[in-house]
Amino acid sequence: MDNNIQDQRSQDKKSQYQVLARKYRPSSFAGLIGQEAMVRTLSNAFEQNRIAHAFMLTGVRGVGKTSTARIIALSINCTGKSSSNGPTVNPCGQCETCASITADRHVDVLEMDAASQTGVENMRELIEGTGYRPISARFKIYIIDEVHMLSKPAFNALLKTLEEPPEHVKFVFATTEIRKVPVTILSRCQRFDLRRIPNDILIDHLSSICKKENIEATRVALELITRAADGSVRDGLSLLDRAISFAEGNITEKHIQMMLGAADNSSIFEIIEAIFSGNIAVALDILERIYQGGADPVNIIEDMLGTIHWLTKVHVTPSILDGKNVLKTEHKFALKMKGSIRISELTRAWQMLLKGLNELREAPSTFHATEMILIRLGYASTLPTPEEALKFVSEKQVINSDRQTSSTSSDHLIQSSSKKKSKGKALGFVPSETHGSSLAPSKPPIPKTYGEVAALAESHREGRLSYFLVHQARVVNFEPGILILNKDAKNHHLRIKELKLFLEKQTNIPWDIKFSAEKGEETLFTKRTLAEEKCMQKSLENPVVQAVMKTFPKATVSKIRKLS
């Protein structure tokens, strides 16, 4: 019988186990971590008896919104020695009121989940309850979690009561999406924005809990948990709970990596170093190794993004390497890469990894997609940056230009020199070769066809002349210096003088421009249109184009472009 009693007690003890997030939930303002500004404001408000009738607590998951709401309820209604004169900033946690609120069974502290009670009927019931005085507490406290989930009619029903609530009623709202809460509600509340918990504070908090639980955990392991928690205390404690069960009481870096499916930092560093040095094969070998070790490809890319972001910050603000949470391996790697990678290369890698992360969600094999991402990164690392490419092209153009100029100048000098020598010999003297001579100006090109006349006008941006020559004029006869056009061309009498002046200025020869009754040729525009139609028809007869059209019946040929 004694054995049965002991077994029963053992079973009861096991069934009474609480997860760490509930076991170490703070019960006073002193127990809240990372929210110093809010704690100071509320503490001063309670000491000065300046307690608002409504509070709005906002922040990401797991930073203490609901815990703060319950602490406010405890502080307002505590009946212990410290609160004999009214609300206190340090609730005792021992009195009947504190015990009932902590156990979530106090009749005057009502906690409501707005996610499951969104309607106006639920809000009307709540408002009706505010008319009754508290049974055993100083104030009736209404805690509404996820308040942004309330419907618009529910918010409207709450407005009047929230603006002028009964003296015995306090409201505490909590939300993760403050933008969804109407401004009319926000203006009636005292708002507190709970921030993410800094990594160093959360690491110390997890370390203290490990000591209380008699658990050994390395600091690196706690740092990995903290990074995965992303500033959330509840997430950090939940991960620590998992790690304790997974590692059987002795938590190391390897345990956390295996539990989270993450790669160790050294492997990520090796991949990045191999990629930026152009050793794609080495990067793929490391990827294969850590993938076989259980690392998730998505986590690998996310870790690479985090490392690239961190390296970029090191370039901008080197002082972050002096932080106490920076490991020796991270410090050494950052200094090594800082001297060999520029910010432009890091930002390009960031963009490619970010795009690759989106591709992973659509790829049939995340591992193969990750390999392709690394190959692209490795190939891109060997390419010049846009600035380098532009500089290279500019320098090449300058060199070619210098060569052409030098060659042209030499030719002119040789020709000029030979002419002078010939002339000198004829007159009985030879000019000195040590003195240079001015180069004769080159003659402007003279159009050999009517099309070149139109092109000359287009190149000099003569809009009216260009339109006249291409769309309106019909050529009867053309020779260099002579142009005869059909007299029916629109505005021909206005353009003859303008065209003559333009051509003589550009060619330095006289031009005779006349109009004739003869019909002449088609306009240049018509010729071009017919040529394009002929080219289009010829392309449609091409076997390759016909095969494409057959494969894609709805496809059309919109433009023909001649390849050089």
pLDDT at 231: 86
pLDDT at 395: 63
Please provide residue 246's backbone torsions phi and psi, each rounded to the nearest 5 degrees: -70, -40
**SS3 track for 122-156:** HHHHHHHHCCCCCCCCCCEEEEEECHHHCCHHHHH
pLDDT at 322: 80
pLDDT at 1: 44
pLDDT at 497: 78
pLDDT at 429: 40
- Which one has a higher pLDDT value, 40 or 485? 40
Q: Average pLDDT for residues 263-268, to the nearest whole number?
A: 78
Positive or negative CA dihedral for 20, 23, 25, 26? negative
User: How confident is the model over 100-156, as pLDDT tens digits?
Assistant: 888 888 999 999 888 888 888 888 888 998 988 988 888 999 999 999 999 999 999
pLDDT at 435: 43
Mean pLDDT rounded to a whole number for the chain: 81
Count of alpha carbons within 13 angstroms of residue 504, beta-carbon side: 10
Q: Is the pLDDT of residue 328 over 90?
A: no
DSSP 369-422: HHHHHHHHHHHHHTSPPHHHHHHHHHHHHHHHHHHHHHHHHHHHHHHHHHHHHH
Binned at pLDDT 50, 70 and 90, residue 296 comes out as: confident
Q: Is the pLDDT of residue 545 over 60?
A: yes
Q: How many CB atoms lie within 10 A of CB 28?
A: 18
Q: How far is CA 401 from CA 366, 395, 406, 439, in A?
A: 51, 10, 8, 19
pLDDT at 3: 54
Q: Is the pLDDT of residue 4 over 80?
A: no
**Domain annotation for the chain: domains and CATH numbers:** 21-195 (3.40.50.300), 197-260 (1.10.8.60), 263-392 (1.20.272.10), 450-521 (3.30.300)
pLDDT at 442: 56
Q: Which residues pair with 475 in a beta bridge?
A: 485
For residue 358, give the 3-state DSSP assignment.
helix
User: How confident is the model over 189-238, as pLDDT tens digits?
Assistant: 999 999 989 888 999 999 999 999 898 998 888 888 888 888 899 999 99
Q: Is the pLDDT of residue 393 over 70?
A: no
User: How confident is the model over 266-283, as pLDDT tens digits?
Assistant: 888 889 999 988 888 999
Is-contact 66 174, C-beta < 8 A?
yes
Q: Average pLDDT for residues 484-491, to the nearest whole number?
A: 72
User: How confident is the model over 336-352, as pLDDT tens digits?
Assistant: 887 778 888 899 999 99
Q: Average pLDDT for residues 278-298, to the nearest whole number?
A: 88
Query: Could you tell me which of 184, 263, 262, 197 has the C-alpha nearest to residue 229?
Result: 197
Q: Is the pLDDT of residue 433 over 70?
A: no
> Which residue type does 255 have?
H
For residue 428, give the 3-state DSSP assignment.
coil
Positive or negative CA dihedral for 62, 63, 66, 70? positive
pLDDT at 278: 83
Query: Residue 425 corresponds to which tokens in the numbers above?
Result: 């010999």
Q: State the Cα torsion 425-429-434-435 to the nearest 10°.
A: -100
Q: Which residues pair with 169 in a beta bridge?
A: 140
pLDDT at 28: 86
Vertex 384: Cα angle to 378 and 389 (nearest 5): 155
pLDDT at 142: 93
pLDDT at 430: 43
